[in-house]
Chains A and B, each alone.
Chain A
Amino acid sequence: MRWEHGLLAIGFVLLAIGHGMGLFMAPEEAMMREAGRILYAHVPTAWVALVTLTLSFFAAVGALWTGRYGWDAAVEATAETGVVLTALLLFQGSMWAKPTWGYYWDWDPRLTTSAILLVLFVGVLVVRRVVSDPERRLTVTAIATIVAFVDVPVVYFGVKWWRSLHQEWSSPQTVDSTMVMPLRIAAFAMLFISLAICVIRWRTILATVQAEATAPDLPALPAELSLAEKEV
């Protein structure tokens, strides 16, 4: 057992505690009633999705600066986890939107930029699978990640910059004191679980990438089979 498995276990225990408190001890929300309890799932998912995608950005900078495959594997591990979290985020959001706003989806700035975020990072993962040469893949993935990352601050600050249907940031000042603790515990739970998954995936991806990079190049094709520089 490695340390990340311990972190994962702590994360799940905290998740159970946080949601147990959120579901059974905290009061329902005054206006949204029971639906307001999605707070404890949705807000931590959003925070941690943005955290993992920010880690992806720093890993991409590290990969380009040092050329090390350790950073390269970290880009993929965090982008992958961030994609799952962002997909989860959009799903939870629409589950919440129906009873609160009245509709599952609306093209407001917050929702639109979040959907774009998912598409951009799915794009990063696609690009990564298209390029087969490990060295070229390191460069291309890192560049794509830095470009995709631009949307992260836009998602975060968008509710301050533009009018939207989505509410602005919540803080302990805007959240009833009885709801702050379960929210905080659920947030750490999501953070620990996601970081643990990032590390577990990082080890696997790094082993694969290093095996690919170490494998000898294929022998050159015989001249009669080569398509290059053949006169037509």
Chain B
Amino acid sequence: MSATTANPSAQGTRRVFLVVTLLVAASALGFIAFGNMGENLVYYWDVGQLREAGDKAIGSTIRLGGVVKEGTVDWRPDESHLEFIITDGSQEVPVECSGAPPQMFREGIGVVVEGTMTPSGTFTSERLMVKHSNEYKAPEDGMSADERKQLYRTVEDL
């Protein structure tokens, strides 16, 4: 037996295995990519889809994604209660969350909330996730990184 190559008499079998495996792998990938899996496995609904579902959305666990509408955030730290409106640009849903929002949370940012619809038309959630875009920008507010570090240090000990 040669040390650099496996038994040459089995080479034909190995090549058959190769072709069959490649075909299986390619069809699996094709199915995942073009098999409309996305229609059945949706990570979150937008506001339109939530509205379409109507009463079915009440009581079932749903992820809802959209943008926090400017000027609608009401955060009451003493009650750990957060209210805001999620919009997709045309339609809106009021959202109530318990617990402190992540530090990235702000008006105009994308969010995904996990929770359910209530009969009153408000979405209640206990899990609020901030969706960051693929844009990485330098700060624009004129404060340099050093100045901000200084500010951070002064706030740190509070």
Contacts and interface: CB of A to CB of B under 8 A. Distances in A.
Interface of A: 27-33, 36, 39, 61, 64-70, 72, 99-103, 106, 108-109, 134-135, 138-139, 142-143, 146-147, 149-150, 153-154, 157, 161-165, 167-171, 174-176, 178-179, 210-211, 213-214
Contact of A162 (B41, B104, B131, B136): B41
Nearest to B134: A167
Interface residues of B, number: 52
Contacts of B5: 66-69
A60 to B, nearest CB: 9
A156 B24 CA distance: 20
B34 to A, nearest CB: 9
Contacts of B103: 99, 102
A175 to B, nearest CB: 5
A87 B145 CA distance: 31
A65 B6 contact: no
Interface of B: 1, 3-8, 10-11, 14-15, 17-18, 21-22, 24-25, 28-29, 32-33, 37-38, 41-44, 65, 101-106, 109, 112, 127-140, 145, 148
10 contacts: A27-B145, A32-B132, A68-B5, A101-B102, A102-B103, A165-B131, A169-B134, A175-B136, A213-B3, A213-B6
Given A65-B15, A176-B138, A214 B131 contact: no
Given A67-B14, A147-B24, A175-B136, A214 B3 contact: yes
CB-based closest 6 A-B pairs: A102-B102, A64-B18, A27-B138, A167-B134, A30-B137, A67-B6
Contact of A146 (B25, B32, B33, B137): B25
Nearest to B26: A150
A40 B130 CA distance: 21
A54 to B, nearest CB: 13
B14 A139 contact: yes
B133 A167 contact: yes
B3 A102 contact: no
B104 A178 contact: no
B28 A165 contact: no
Nearest to B138: A27
Contacts of A32: 104, 132
Contacts of B134: 167-171, 174
Contacts of B6: 67-69, 72, 134-135, 138-139, 213
Nearest to B104: A100
Contacts of A153: 29, 33
A13 B43 CA distance: 41
B145 A28 contact: yes
Given A100-B102, A178-B138, A146 B112 contact: no
Given A150-B25, A169-B134, 4 more contacts: A67-B11, A68-B4, A69-B3, A146-B21
A213 B1 CA distance: 8
Contacts of A68: 4-6
B17 A64 contact: yes
A69 B140 CA distance: 56
Contacts of A66: 5
